[in-house]
Structure 1
Amino acid sequence: MSSSRSRRGAAGQPAADMAEIARADSEINSCTPVGLPATARVLFAVVDANGTLIRGLGATSATRLATGMYQVGFDQDIVGAAYIGTVGLIAPGGLAPQGAITVAPRTGIPNAVFVETYAASGHTDRPFHLAVLA
């Protein structure tokens, strides 16, 4: 069942017409997990710039390896997973510092992700959010 709130439209977006709404509603129940095992999980970690694991789901550890380089451990093998990272605050309020982030499987550790954070000047410590679709 779709939300009437989503049909109001947001500032700057055109309102959806009835045909678009009907199509979107019909797709809600038709989605199938292509290629995902029955045990698929969404894991996440919120990590401070100093490498402290602030909170997470399935996250077991975070370590600052060097300036702007981190390792985040999880409670399962995530070699075949997808990784999504963003520079982000560890608490509500304000805006995250500007920066970029890259994420990759951790070489030699099947349950960890390697994270690098950057500013315009190069590697810089930044707080970040990491999602793992395993």
Structure 2
Amino acid sequence: MREAARADTEINSCSPVGLPATARMLFAVVDADGKLVRGLGATSATRLAAGMYQVAFDQDVAGAAYVGTVGPATANGLVPQGIITVAPRSGIANAVFVETHGTSGHVDRPFHLAVLA
């Protein structure tokens, strides 16, 4: 019973992964043109070039964890498969840089981005 109580405490406090009690889950859903469709904590999205985007948030996310996936920006349909890479935005602490790729290189794709900050 003690082990279960300890596990519950660790899960609730996020202590096993070293996250502060103020950790926040942010997200953005962005269409292929770089328009922010919806999100939590996301303030803007911008298409920089073919398959290259910047997503800005309402707080510093430079030291956060990022997860991206190619996916539809609306509730309907599927999108062509692709690859996504995500990284901190160089020189902009509250933004994430996103690249989407198809079989022939950079290509515009809608995507979902989750940030644990």
Q: TM-score, normalised by structure 2?
A: 0.88
Give 1:29's aligned amino acid. Answer: D
Give 2:97's aligned amino acid. Answer: F
Partner of 2:41: 58
Q: Following the alignment from structure 1 to structure 2, what is the Cα–Cα distance between the partners of residues 52 and 79?
A: 22
Task: Say if 2:3 is the partner of 1:29.
Answer: no
The range that moved more, 59-68 or 88-97, is 88-97
| Equivalenced residues, count | 109
Write out the 4+ residue segments of structure 1 that deviate beyond 4 Å after TM superposition. none
Partner of 1:99: 82
Give 2:82's aligned amino acid. Answer: G
Q: TM-score, normalised by structure 1?
A: 0.77
Deviation at 1:111, TM superposition (A): 0.2
Deviation at 1:39, TM superposition (A): 1.1
Which entry has the higher C-alpha Rg, 1 or 2?
1
Q: Which runs of 5 or more structure 1 residues have no equivalent in the other structure?
A: 1-25
Q: Which has the higher contact order (CA 8 A, sep 6+)?
A: 2
> 18, 34, 47: which is aligned to 2:30?
47
Q: Which has the higher strand share?
A: 2
SS in structure 1 opposite 2:97?
strand
Give 1:55's aligned amino acid. Answer: R
